[in-house]
A = this chain, B = another copy of it.
Amino acid sequence: MKNGITEKPDDWDKVISKLVFKKEYVRGLYRLGHFRHVLVIFGFHRMRRTLLRVHPRRDLSLGEVGVFATRSPTRPNRLGLTRVRLVGVRKNVVTVEGLDAFDGSPVYDVKPPEDEIDYFNRQARRKSR
């Protein structure tokens, strides 16, 4: 994944990232562009610490909770999951907005959000008539 982000930005929401797929997977991206959002499963590849207890949102007033009760990157598996806005799909590159991952993060999967799948099917039906 490429986005040029190497330091934590003030706001991830406007960060544009390019998810670069292997050329052999281009066929698997067909019609992904019909969705408005996608779920991205990625790796927190720069994280070195594992913390099994964390303060949610780094807010010390909240008290510690287990890392699996949060989205914290200090989880043992280093897996991140974020719903992002889909900007576009061109050949083997999926461009998204709002992915909270540093430049070079591995991307493991892209999935359509459940709440947009009906919309997508309606589109598919309409076009197939």
Interface residues of A, Cβ cutoff 8 Å to B: 25, 27-32, 34-35, 39, 41, 52-53, 56-57, 59, 61-71, 75-77, 79, 81, 83, 108-112, 114, 117, 120-121, 124-125, 127-128
**Given the known A-B contacts A25-B76, A41-B81, are A30 and B71 also in contact in the complex, defined by CB atoms under 8 Å?**
no
Cβ contacts under 8 Å, A75 to chain B:
28, 109
- Bound state CA distance, A75 and B110, in angstroms? 10
Residue of B whose beta carbon sits closest to that of A124? B62
Residue of B whose beta carbon sits closest to that of A39? B81
Q: Least Cβ distance of A46 to chain B in Å?
A: 18
Cβ contacts under 8 Å, A66 to chain B:
27-32
Can you spell out 8 A-B residue pairs with CB atoms less than 8 angstroms apart? A25-B76, A27-B52, A28-B53, A30-B53, A30-B65, A31-B69, A63-B128, A65-B124
- Bound state CA distance, A70 and B28, in angstroms? 9
- A70: contacting residue among B41, B69, B112, CB under 8 A: B112
**Is B28 touching A83 in the complex (CB atoms < 8 A)?**
no
